Amino acid sequence: MAGGEVQLVDLVKRFGEFTAVDGINLQMPSGEFFSLLGPSGCGKTTSLRMIAGFERPTEGQILLDGEDMAQTPPHKRDVNTVFQNYALFPHLTVEENVAFGLKYQKASKQEIRERVGRALELVQMSQFVRRRPNQLSGGQQQRVALARALILNPKVLLLDEPLGALDAKLRKRLQIELKALQEEVGITFIYVTHDQEEALTMSDRIAVMSQGRVEQVGQPKEIYENPATAYVADFLGVSNLMDAEAAGPAPEGCKVKLGEFELVAGQGESDALGPCKVTIRPERIDIEPQGTSGENRIPGMVERVVYVGATLQVFLHLASGQTIQAWVPNDGDAHPRASGDAIMVHLPVDAFRVLPGGGTAVLAAAELDVASS
């Protein structure tokens, strides 16, 4: 479908003295799966509600294909919304729920029947047309809600944490299905979530939000591997965020000190000086035998090992004083490491990053709870 480009320009929403959305600027091209990611209270749902028309912005513009819709009523916007609770009518069948929006479009009974059939086929629910919502599983109800939204052929589909009420295994399966569905219908999806894995799995691009502002926008790989701020690094996955002292450029990056140990960080701010934050993802850390030599190695001790199936989470206490986490693939070795083992920890230069100053460097306790859930 042509069209569906959304642009937010200096968008602000205040509730009394509280600023929920603080001057965000975002561009979402037609046909993109775009996610707003962040903890509770970061402004993502308020932003979505303003795009839908359920909230009026205090300042700024909401452009749909270049036309400002900021003051346009919801029913006059070519967008549709799927909510977390699905909002299905309990007294109507699946077929009647999906067809409900068409009653205002003066479509013939034959056209309605054909469009409902196509929409249900798209979400693999054709065999359940006569059932009512209470006869469906959570995943089936989610599919019906999607069909009801898609049947109106909106330019933009807004999704407010629609997988949040489902169990973990079903949620993972539907993440893949939802992305495949978006690619098939080709319309713009704007998805709100606090779940990092959801955003990384489905999105073409992600905006990470905090306290009403956008911290970083980019493709999943870019945001995960090249976080712009300490906040993004800490919120998106396990970051192993550490305090260090930067000593300026080195041939391969930036010289840093962790305690008394001199290392080189090959990513991030190569010309940083003074106190800084450094980070490395747990899957990039190498655990080596005690006494192994080479650059970017620090002696350490295994504190504990947690078995999580496909990987082992190994908590390491470094001789420099920091405690970090490494992920080791489960290759079947019955005793890879044990608590109290003395080891050498290798922080590869190309995976070790100096984070720039600025941004929201510290997560509030409530945000940490959400980020880890």
- For 165-187, the pLDDT digits (tens) are 777 787 888 888 889 889 988 99
Contact, 130 vs 93, CB < 8 A? Answer: yes
Confidence of residue 367 (pLDDT cuts 50, 70, 90): very low
Tell me which of 148 and 358 has the higher pLDDT.
148
User: What is the gyration radius of the CA atoms in the chain, in angstroms?
Assistant: 24
pLDDT confidence bin for 335, thresholds 50/70/90: low
pLDDT of amino acid 357: 61
CA distances from 58 to 11, 19, 63, 69 (A): 8, 10, 15, 13
C-alpha 152/C-alpha 167 separation (Å) is 29
Question: Cβ of 340: how many Cβ atoms within 10 Å?
Answer: 9
Please report the DSSP string for 130-159 in residue order: T--GGGS-HHHHHHHHHHHHHTT--SEEEE
Among 53, 102, 51, 56, CA closest to 74: 53
The two three-digit tokens of residue 327, written as one number: 């992920």
- Spatial neighbors of 159 by CB under 8 A, at least 6 apart, are 81, 82, 189, 190, 191, 192
3-state secondary structure of 24: strand
Spatial contact of 65 and 5, defined as CB atoms under 8 Å apart: yes
Task: Name beta bridge partners: 325.
Answer: 315
Better-scored residue on pLDDT, 143 or 24: 24
| Distance in angstroms (rounded) separating the CA atoms of residues 278 and 240 | 8
User: Which amino acid appears at position 197 of this protein?
Assistant: E
Q: How far is it, in rounded angstroms, from Cα 154 to Cα 145?
A: 14
pLDDT one-digit tens code per residue, 307-330 = 888 899 999 999 999 999 999 988
**Lowest mean pLDDT across 31-40, 86-95, 293-302:** 86-95
- Whole-prediction pTM value? 0.85
Going from the N-terminus, what domains does the chain have, and what CATH number goes with each? Answer: 6-228 (3.40.50.300), 231-372 (2.40.50.100)
Of residues 245, 265, 255, the one with CA closest to residue 321: 245
Q: Is the pLDDT of residue 55 over 80?
A: yes
Question: Dihedrals φ, ψ of 30, to 5°?
Answer: -60, 135
How far apart are the C-alpha atoms of 176 and 198, rounded to whole Å? 9
Cα 347 vs. chain centroid, distance in angstroms?
Answer: 26
In this structure, the chain runs to a length of: 373
How far is residue 351 from each of residues 195, 262, 273, 277, 305, measured CA to CA in Å? Answer: 24, 16, 20, 14, 22
Please report the DSSP string for 231-267 in residue order.
HHHHHSS----EEEEEEEEETTEEEEEETTEEEEE-E
pLDDT reported for residue 172: 85
pLDDT of residue 373: 34
Per-residue pLDDT for 158 more than 90? yes
Roughly what angle, to the nearest 10 degrees, separates helices 168-185 and 138-150? 20
Distance (Å, whole) CA 341 – CA 291: 13
